[in-house]
Amino acid sequence: MGLIVLGLLAETIFLSRSVVDQLQRLSIATSDNVQWNLAQVEVDFLRFQTAIDQAEREGAPILADLRTRFDILYSRHSIIADSPIYGELRAAPENEERLRSFRAFLDRAIPDMDGPDAGLLAALPQLRQDSLALRPDLRALALDGVKTFAEVEARSRAEVSRTLIKLAFSMLVLIVALLATIAVLYGLFRRGQAVADENQLVRSRFEAMVASSLDAILVVDTHGRIIAFNGAAEGVFGYSSEEAVGEQMSDLIVPEHLRDAHNHGMARYIETGEKRVIDAGRVRLEALHKSGRVFPVELSISAAENEDRTVFVSFLRDISQQVADEEELVRARDEAQAGEKAKSELLSVMSHEMRTPLNGILGSLELIDRENLTGQQVRYLDAIRVSGNLLLSHVNDVLDLSRINAMSVRAEEVEFALDETVRNLVDSHMALTKAHGNEMHVHLNSDTLSWVRGDELRLKQCLLNLIGNANKFTADGVVTVEVERLDDGEVVEFRISDTGIGISEDDIGKIFDDFVMIDTAYSRGSSGTGLGLAITRRLVTAMGGEIEADSIEGEGSLFTMRLPLPVVQRSKSISAQPSRSDLEESQNQPLTLVVDDNDINRMIAADMLTQAGHRVEEADGGKAAILAARKTRYDLILMDISMPEVDGIEALQTIRAENGASAETLIVALTAHAATEDQDRIRRAGFDDLLIKPLSRRAVTTVLPLHLVDNQEEDGKQDAISILGPAKYAEALADFHEEAARFLTRLEKPGGRTSDLQAEAHELWGSASVLGVSSAWRHLQMLERADAEVWDSARKQAIGAFRENLSEVS
Ligand code: ADP
């Protein structure tokens, strides 16, 4: 718009100038002077002629007048011949010719005019004659002049009028453009005013917000000077706004120990733009009150930037009360935790103390010769056994819960055959299943369930709870256990479903809570603590899995548990353990030492082992065990852990270290410490295995013989030969001996890293177990499991055993 107006303005000026020029030309054309000049040529010529006539009559006295007339005539000619005004007149060729004749006449007369009077007098007749000849030309020139100037005038007028019309039009457009410009400017002005009003509104709103904010708000410029300090800030820091504004913020409200850091932070931001506290959300820091008191604040700072200015806006809150409350809460929590810890310690001690007598009761029951009892007595005995087992499971539940609550549960991973674990668990529930008139089905839906890595012990505990519940709450129905590896490969899903009483929609949300037993007619008859699912959920979470329940009341329930159990590569057929029938066929009666300070427990264990075909000797404590092991070479030592004076762990380590007759004997721990942490501690101490009290007939007849067979090298060897064939076996054995020799060299070299040696021992252990070289196998296993305390003795023993074995081979 501005450009258009400027263009129009330029055009108008240009037109105005043209008009001026044209008017000038017109005025010249119409000027009297110009016309008069032409007419005057004729008049002056006549006067000149008259002067000639007079001079001829009167002689020399009036020659001066004649000369003056000539000069006037001469100048008239010069004006018409030279002045640009007469350009148009001169442009016509006939006029040019006339002017030339005029000039020639004048030029001819000049010598006479300038000469002496006598000469001039003599020339007068010729002059008159010449002037008469020239006169018609001059007349014609004058007339032509009048005509020419009339034409010029008419043309100039037309031109002026055209230019004036153009000028008027241009002015009109200019006026319209100016009006439009004014309208636009007015619009802009109105808009600017609206924006200004809006800004004013926003500003007043912002000011109201800042003023009424409950948080202290400080605005600081890049030099650290406070430029705004609201009412809340006055309350928080004790300064009035007048006192604060203009002051350095760091001097006023930043405690001395933070001042340098604050100033560095500001400088760094201004230099590099790097933000640490700015725009970092809520930050907790300390601030300084006018009174000198340092107090905790929560603040957030943001930088408001535009092209030429940056300011920092800080929102601060005094959190002294909040911090005090938090500290109070932490103290209360610590106290509560201490109370909780004391409670769980009490529970754990109580449970341990209850287990020992229970162990005695249940063990004695197993030993009673039922054949000589009446039916009534057998029923009473069964009642005692059922109640005793129930009591034991309650004690275990409470102990588990208190332990899980007291310490965070960590999953303990081992490699195990998941399919076998599930089948064994289901087998162990068959009696309960039958007792309820149920059928139980197992579906192992994936073929990648043989060897997995995970926490077998805790998984078993969860499955026991779920399968136990399914049977407990189902009568004459079907319990199904499905195991399937999910698509992602890591996770195995366990689905335990039943066709039992189900759980109502209202109750299903509660069943994983502590001590919840749904009050149904059925469950009132059943036994439980309401802790099974609570423990299961905690264990599942600790293993990184999840569990959920679905149920339709009256139709049945489905418990789905998903756990990460990655596959491990292992040849199951080769590492499978010898079957029970192998053991039963074994004619050797193992010599076993039972070590326990509790007479009843020792007696029960001894009787169970005797009934299972062991030759048994007894030791009533760690000391006695060490003495016996020094002299006699036992096949098995069953060692109680908690014993006065010398406990089980110490006795084990002494027996292993002493190099006595039983230094390499299989030693199995027997403990009432059911928690996983305790079990791990015991295993790490170097025991070959661990059995939980009360010792059961099943453990004696299945678990112990598995270990004892390990000793019978020949059996393992035969297994391997039958699998590999004699030629391959011989080859593999030779390779193994080479490997073992290399391992021995590394083991003997001082300074080898324990973890490396243990990894190698693990690998070699695999070969030894496959080939049935069980003496090496045991030492390798010992090395692999040994912790820092027992590493040296395990290493020494292993070196001795390997040297002996390898020298025999060579
Ligand atoms: P309990 O020791 O009583 O079995 P749990 O925590 O294992 O405690 O179970 C809590 C409650 O959930 C049980 O008392 C029972 O009412 C209900 N429940 C658990 N499993 C089932 C199931 N399979 N069918 C029906 N009800 C069940």
pLDDT in tens, 112-136: 999 898 888 888 999 889 989 998 9
- Residue 289: what pLDDT? 94
- Residue 581: what pLDDT? 37
Q: Distance from the CA of 530 to the center of ligand 1, in angstroms?
A: 7
Share of the chain above pLDDT 70, in %: 87
Judge whether residue 604 has pLDDT over 60. Answer: yes
Judge whether residue 408 has pLDDT over 60. Answer: no
Q: Establish whether residue 557 lines the binding site of ligand 1, counting it when its CB lies within 6 angstroms of any ligand atom.
A: yes
Indicate the pLDDT class of residue 387, thresholds 50, 70 and 90: confident
Scored b (16 or more CB within 10 A) or e, 602-612 reads: bbbbbbbbeeb
Q: Which long-range contacts (CB under 8 A, 24 or more apart) does 646-651 make?
A: 646/621, 646/622, 647/622, 648/595, 648/622, 648/682, 649/682, 649/685, 650/622, 651/595, 651/622, 651/623, 651/625, 651/626
Residue owning the nearest CA to atom 13 of ligand 1: 517
Q: What is the pTM of this model?
A: 0.39
Closest ligand 1 atom, residue 470 Cα:
23
Q: Distance from the CA of 511 to the center of ligand 1, in angstroms?
A: 7
Q: Establish whether residue 534 lines the binding site of ligand 1, counting it when its CB lies within 6 angstroms of any ligand atom.
A: yes
Q: Distance from the CA of 470 to the center of ligand 1, in angstroms?
A: 8
Q: Establish whether residue 532 lines the binding site of ligand 1, counting it when its CB lies within 6 angstroms of any ligand atom.
A: yes
Torsion of CA 413, 415, 417, 422, to 10 degrees: -10
Q: Distance from the CA of 491 to the center of ligand 1, in angstroms?
A: 25
Closest ligand 1 atom, residue 530 Cα:
8
Integer Cα distance of 336 and 329 in angstroms: 10
Element (H, E) at 77: helix 63-82
Indicate the pLDDT class of residue 2, thresholds 50, 70 and 90: confident
Q: Which long-range contacts (CB under 8 A, 24 or more apart) does 443-448 make?
A: 443/480, 443/481, 443/482, 443/483, 444/419, 444/483, 445/482, 445/483, 445/484, 445/485, 446/483, 446/484, 446/485, 446/492, 448/485, 448/567
Structure tokens at 140: 């014609």
Integer Cα distance of 228 and 237 in angstroms: 14
Q: Distance from the CA of 503 to the center of ligand 1, in angstroms?
A: 8
Pocket test for ligand 1, best of 397, 469, 503, 526 (most atoms within 8 A of CB): 469
Q: Establish whether residue 469 lines the binding site of ligand 1, counting it when its CB lies within 6 angstroms of any ligand atom.
A: yes
Q: Which residue has the higher pLDDT, 512 or 308?
A: 512
Closest ligand 1 atom, residue 531 Cα:
6
pLDDT in tens, 13-51: 888 888 888 787 777 766 666 777 778 888 889 999 999
Mean pLDDT, the chain, rounded, equals: 82
Beta strands in 681-785 (DSSP E): 689-692
Indicate the pLDDT class of residue 725, thresholds 50, 70 and 90: low
Q: Establish whether residue 516 lines the binding site of ligand 1, counting it when its CB lies within 6 angstroms of any ligand atom.
A: yes
Q: Distance from the CA of 419 to the center of ligand 1, in angstroms?
A: 25
Q: Establish whether residue 503 lines the binding site of ligand 1, counting it when its CB lies within 6 angstroms of any ligand atom.
A: yes
Q: Establish whether residue 397 lines the binding site of ligand 1, counting it when its CB lies within 6 angstroms of any ligand atom.
A: no
Q: Establish whether residue 533 lines the binding site of ligand 1, counting it when its CB lies within 6 angstroms of any ligand atom.
A: yes
Q: How many CB atoms lie within 10 A of CB 425?
A: 18
Q: Distance from the CA of 47 to the center of ligand 1, in angstroms?
A: 154
- Residue 569: what pLDDT? 77
Weakest mean pLDDT among 6-15, 84-93, 392-401, 515-524: 515-524
Q: Establish whether residue 396 lines the binding site of ligand 1, counting it when its CB lies within 6 angstroms of any ligand atom.
A: no
Q: Distance from the CA of 299 to the center of ligand 1, in angstroms?
A: 50
Q: Establish whether residue 480 lines the binding site of ligand 1, counting it when its CB lies within 6 angstroms of any ligand atom.
A: no
Q: Distance from the CA of 389 to the center of ligand 1, in angstroms?
A: 19
3-state DSSP assignment of residue 307: coil
Q: Which residue has the higher pLDDT, 123 or 680?
A: 123
Exposed / middle / buried, residue 46 (Cβ in 10 Å: 0-12, 13-18, 19+)? middle
Q: Distance from the CA of 421 to the center of ligand 1, in angstroms?
A: 23
Q: Distance from the CA of 501 to the center of ligand 1, in angstroms?
A: 10
- What does the angle CA 433 – CA 395 – CA 465 come to, to the nearest 5 degrees? 35
Q: What interhelical angle do 713-724 and 726-748 show, nearest 10? A: 130
Q: Distance from the CA of 548 to the center of ligand 1, in angstroms?
A: 13
Indicate the pLDDT class of residue 579, thresholds 50, 70 and 90: very low
Q: Establish whether residue 465 lines the binding site of ligand 1, counting it when its CB lies within 6 angstroms of any ligand atom.
A: yes
pLDDT in tens, 268-298: 888 888 877 788 888 888 999 999 999 999 9
